[in-house]
A and B are shown apart, each in its own frame.
Chain A
Amino acid sequence: MTLSTVGIESIAEYLPPHVASITELSERGLLRGSADTLRSFGFESVHLACEESNLDMAIAAAEKLLNESGIERDQIGMILYAAALNSSSTLWNGNGVSRPGSVLDLGTVHDLFKYPGSVLQTELDLPNAAVVGINQVGCASIFAALRMARALVVTEDNLKAVLCVSADKFPSGQPRDLAYNLVSDGACAALVRRDAERNRILECAQVTKGALWESDEIENEIIAAYFPTAAALIERTLASAGLKMDDIALVIPHNVSLRSWEILGRLIKCPPDRIYTNNIAKVGHTIASDNLLNLKHATDAGLIAKGELMLMFTFGYGSNWACMVVQH
């Protein structure tokens, strides 16, 4: 067993049915910046979770995945529950309870021990799945989950399949634009298996710049750090895999602004037609679910042939950059 035989076998998504245009967001006071700038940067609308909690979305995406993949539920040996937002790792949103203030503003001490991952396991009826939560990596949390799933599947003989799930719902009433990007709600689930028939993970890399943790205070530095760090990480990841950008058939991005991908594409010498940006306008940035969602849509659209290489990249606001090379 080698790392390169582990892959993302199946993907499923959940996007809330309510679609809000930039105009609607503006009218509802859900933008702090300019609507025109967001439009100019390539955004049109986002999906807003209304009644759904982040846990509801996680269950919906994972249930869909289990049904579509046909895997026996007993074979799932682990759930890696990736919570990008701190609020996603608690049950306050999970229970659909909207409560202002700190996510640690809980009713009793017992609430500190209530986890959405546990609920997910029991709701999905996955009795053999150990649950591990992954957070503190922002939008890169699903990359961390996939990376760990890959490593665990290789090192633990009895572990056949890992379910990776990300689901994030932005706090209600908060502006949806963050660092000139438009945030959507949504969830994704991925099944990581050994001897996968598709999407084998060839290389993973992550950079953490801990000094950027104080994201509200140093937003300008974070924005400035984004491009050079992204370019350096992508270059390093490709080099580690013994590849060049020309070897990559398609870049599977996170759904930050189209403009930023125009710029980053130039920095990494990747032409625009090799970056899958179809979902940026209509879906927006679903925190941690973008890349899996885009990988699925690009696959469904027949844009990737068997054996072709893809590069997935994301940025976990404000201090994590993650990159992955996947072979379809």
Chain B
Amino acid sequence: MKRASILLTGATGAVGGDLLRKLAQRDDLTVNVAVRRKGVSPVERVRALLSHDQIKATVNVVEADIGAGPMLGVREELLRDLQRETTHIVHSAGSTSFTLPLADARAANVDGSRNVLEFARNCPALECGAFLSTVYVSGKRRGDFGESDFGDAGLGFVNSYEESKAEMEEMIRSAMNDLPLILVRLSTVLGDSTTGRVSAFNTIHHAVRLLYSGLAPMIPGDPNDPVDIVSSDFVCDAALHLVEHAPRPGVYHVAAGRESSNTLGEIIDETMNTLAANRPSWRKRSVEKPVIVDLDTYELFVKSVEETGNQVLRNATRSIRTFAYQLAHPKVFETRQASAALAWNGIAPQPSLAFYPRVVKYCLDTNWGSRQ
């Protein structure tokens, strides 16, 4: 049987790094890691990522630039070798910034994916090409969002990240007739379910920090609306399992779904409880729990803060604003296909409140990454 050979992009990102660490523990794989030179050499970057891990897989570092065109910035001879041996592709490279201009987000998330797609077309042994996406391609939809649903249904997007990912999905869907591709839509990844370890701090972690600092007076949404968050270990296990075993073509939601989600009110309560339990000195500051408000009220508050010109409060509201508008468009991510594909291997999301406090504690213990 041919040894599986996986091309992994985006290994220096949050999810990609976790995927690489997971893949590196497999002794039945060859992992070709496509990494850009950025200050230090790609080999050094990958070495740093795997410095604490036991490596069982054959890990090859390929200096590449996904944005450089269909050749991925790889010299032709090496590119042909890669294409010949690649059985699986996990494309996790891209930008997860919510604040990029749309053109830049497209360059990162659409153009890069187009190049990887072209690479895939020339892989004769390709069994599965997995393109990581986000459940938030759903944009400003409300209510249930299924794995067979696509895009914003004309309701618009909250940020350029969502929009560019939706455009990427459109492109991949068109290619699904010709190639064995899957779209793996990830929910918001917070941290490891056991240790709370956070690979990359995102806007949710920063929001927790603002709350800790007493600078988050209000959050848009409804206390009873579900908030979908997942642990990084679930995401890794699920994504890799789907790449190897899920029916293709297909779209899979790696999300908490209805069963494992908690409400916004419960998440905020748990945040307050966890901060107080782990930092008795913080409790003395009597930071009030943020009020959950409708979007119009939040907009009025943001407008008022902007008018004051107060830089600290402006940064705080802008930071929350980048993701919080999703909270004002509540939805439940249906996970039927993913659950069916993952169930026989026992992979399932943990209930949010089962791991969320550990992530908050990790944020506190590391001072949001400054004391890693």
Contact = CB atoms under 8 A, between A and B. Distances in A.
Interface of A: 33-34, 37, 40-41, 180, 209-212, 220-221, 223-229, 231-232, 259-260, 262-263, 266-267
A220 B316 CA distance: 10
A224 B300 contact: no
A174 B370 CA distance: 41
7 contacts: A41-B307, A209-B288, A211-B286, A221-B214, A225-B287, A228-B217, A267-B218
Contact of B289 (A220, A228, A262, A263): A228
A266 B294 contact: yes
Given A40-B307, A180-B308, A263-B300, A223 B291 contact: no
B29 interface: no
Contacts, number: 70
Interface string B86-102: 00000000000000000
B251 to A, nearest CB: 39
B215 interface: yes
A260 B301 CA distance: 8
B293 to A, nearest CB: 6
Contacts of A225: 214, 217, 287-288
B217 A226 contact: yes
Interface in B285-323: 285-291, 293-294, 296-297, 300-301, 304, 307-310, 312-313, 316
A121 B158 CA distance: 63
Interface in B243-290: 284-290
Nearest to B316: A224
B213 interface: yes
A224 B214 contact: yes
A223 B309 CA distance: 13
Given A211-B284, A211-B285, A224-B214, A259 B304 contact: yes
Given A41-B307, A231-B291, A263 B312 contact: no
A181 B48 CA distance: 52
A262 B313 CA distance: 19
B286 A228 contact: no
A228 B218 contact: yes
Contacts of A33: 308-309
Contact of B288 (A220, A232, A266): A232
Given A224-B214, A228-B218, A259-B304, A266 B289 contact: no
A141 B313 CA distance: 28
Give the 4 A-B residue pairs with the shortest CB-CB distance, closest first.
Answer: A228-B288, A266-B297, A209-B286, A221-B214
B310 A266 contact: no
A195 to B, nearest CB: 38
Nearest to B303: A259
B218 A227 contact: yes
B307 A223 contact: no
B308 A37 contact: yes
A220 B310 contact: yes
A241 B215 CA distance: 31
Contact of B307 (A37, A210, A226, A267): A37
B239 interface: no
Most interface-central of B217, B287, B312 (chain A CB within 10 A): B217
